[in-house]
Amino acid sequence: MSLPVDHKLIYYFKKWVSISENDEARILSAFEPLTVKKKKDLLEPNEVCKYIYFITKGCLRSYYADEKGVEHIYQIRMDNNWISDLESFFTQKPSKYFIETLENSELLRISSEQLEHLYSEVPALERYFRILFQKAYINALERLNATMWESAEDRYSKMLKEHPTMFQRVPLVYIASYLGITPESLSRIRKKR
């Protein structure tokens, strides 16, 4: 979709809720545009997550590094998606995660204070974000269940079907981490196809 950056955000809001032109202007004034170079951290462990980010263009990941320094990817998000550490954002407690750009990215970010103001000024957005947060919760549960009940091959096939462009934009080592397997296992699965 080749809409201007701010219009992409409005387009995605309008997919779920009705908003007026006056509401559009108020919404856009609450979001701060941000251009971030590749390999930059938007969040680091022990910082409080202050923003929710809408990715108008680019690719980001959230991950944590265990005590051995092994990275475990929690989220990979691309164009027209949201990324944040919602636990830290809502509780205002320090995060366990990094959020890093994998590509040069164009983002729109909103703080918790601005989001609360928007809820009262544009009530339809409360519904939108309720739906968004429900979907995020369900996705997290589905991912947890998949790691417990589905084979690595099934998880890979599902990811390939649902996000084929991810394999052209994200290093395979990150995709392996996201799938909960080693890069060697991912390589074996890919060779079988």
Could you read off the pLDDT of 116-128 as tens digits, one per residue?
A: 999 999 999 999 9
Q: How many domains does the chain have?
A: 1
> pTM for the whole thing?
0.89
Higher-confidence residue: 101 or 185? 101
∠ CA 61-152-60, rounded to 5°: 5
**What are the φ/ψ torsions at residue 182 (nearest 5 degrees)?**
-80, 160
CATH of the domain at 45: 2.60.120.10
pLDDT above 50: residue 1: no
The pLDDT confidence band at residue 6, using thresholds 50, 70 and 90, is: low
Q: Does residue 151 form part of some domain?
A: no
For residue 116, is it within any domain?
yes
Asked whether residue 50 is assigned to any structural domain, the reply reads yes
Strand segments (E) across the chain: 32-36, 41-43, 51-57, 59-65, 71-78, 81-83, 98-101, 105-111
Range of the domain at 81: 5-124
Q: What is the pLDDT of residues 72-98, one digit of tens each?
A: 999 999 999 999 999 999 999 999 999
